[in-house]
């Protein structure tokens, strides 16, 4: 027969209590981490939906078509044709600012590039390719080497992803 004295029993009860408390704490921490991840994903989804709503808005579509239909030979020709206050320069600046902001969100990891590499990607790539000489010319002309850098960043990141996707074998 096993005899357990009162002191041993109290130590066993205390040890059991500490073990239960530790397990409870681990479960609480794990649950808290899951909730934080879920909140982050929810915020990113909300942010993404806001970006898509902007992209689908009639005002954005109008500015896109104005910007897309502009023609010019070079940086100087562009600024001769489209002076400050012109419909094209206003629409283009709005587009550049929007895409620069998307780049900032991705760079700061506030939104995952996976979300941007969808409906937004083609717009970013087309706009950067079309206006690259103007965007880079602005840096020199206005002596602001960082202007539109997040627009260029997101373009480069999306371009890398597109090139990587082309090198993958087809899935069957």
What would the pLDDT profile of 14-56 be if each residue is shown by its tens digit? 889 889 988 988 889 898 899 998 888 888 888 889 988 999 9
| pLDDT per residue as tens digits for the range 80-122 | 999 999 999 999 999 999 999 999 999 999 888 988 888 899 9
Rg (CA), the chain: 28
Range of the structural domain that residue 99 is part of: 57-167
Claim to verify: residue 71 and residue 18 sit in the same structural domain: no
Claim to verify: residue 130 and residue 88 sit in the same structural domain: yes
Claim to verify: residue 1 and residue 64 sit in the same structural domain: no
Claim to verify: residue 26 and residue 78 sit in the same structural domain: no
CB 106 within 8 A of CB 149: no
Number of domains making up the chain: 2
Domain assignment present for residue 51? The answer is no
Claim to verify: residue 87 and residue 134 sit in the same structural domain: yes
Task: Give 138's contacts (C-beta < 8 A, 6+ positions apart).
Answer: 144, 147, 148
Which DSSP string do the residues of 73-121 spell out, in sequence order?
A: SSHHHHHHHS-TT-HHHHHHHHHHHHHHHHHHHHHTTSS-HHHHTTHHH
Domain assignment present for residue 117? The answer is yes
- C-alpha to C-alpha distance for 125 and 64, rounded to whole angstroms: 13
Claim to verify: residue 61 and residue 133 sit in the same structural domain: yes
Q: Which of 30, 75, 53, 51 shows the shortest CA–CA distance to 124?
A: 51
Indicate the range of 2-11, 12-21, 57-66, 99-108 predicted with least confidence: 2-11
CB 132 within 8 A of CB 74: no
Q: Which of 144, 58, 55 shows the shortest CA–CA distance to 95?
A: 55
């Amino acid at each position: 027969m096993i005899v357990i004295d009162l002191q041993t029993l109290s130590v066993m009860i205390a040890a059991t209590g500490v073990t239960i408390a530790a397990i409870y704490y681990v479960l609480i921490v794990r649950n808290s981490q899951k909730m934080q991840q879920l909140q982050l994903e929810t915020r990113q989804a909300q942010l993404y939906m806001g970006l898509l709503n902007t992209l689908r808005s009639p005002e954005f579509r109008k500015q896109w078509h104005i910007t897309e239909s502009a023609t010019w030979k070079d940086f100087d020709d562009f600024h001769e044709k489209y002076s400050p206050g012109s419909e094209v320069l206003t629409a283009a600046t709005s587009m550049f600012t929007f895409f620069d902001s998307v780049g900032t969100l991705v760079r700061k990891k506030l939104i995952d590039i996976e979300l941007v590499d969808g409906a937004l990607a083609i717009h970013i790539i087309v706009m950067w390719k079309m206006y690259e000489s103007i965007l880079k010319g602005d840096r020199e002309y206005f002596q602001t080497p960082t202007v539109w850098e997040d627009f260029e960043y997101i373009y480069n990141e999306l371009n890398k992803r597109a090139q990587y996707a082309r090198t993958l074998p087809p899935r069957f």
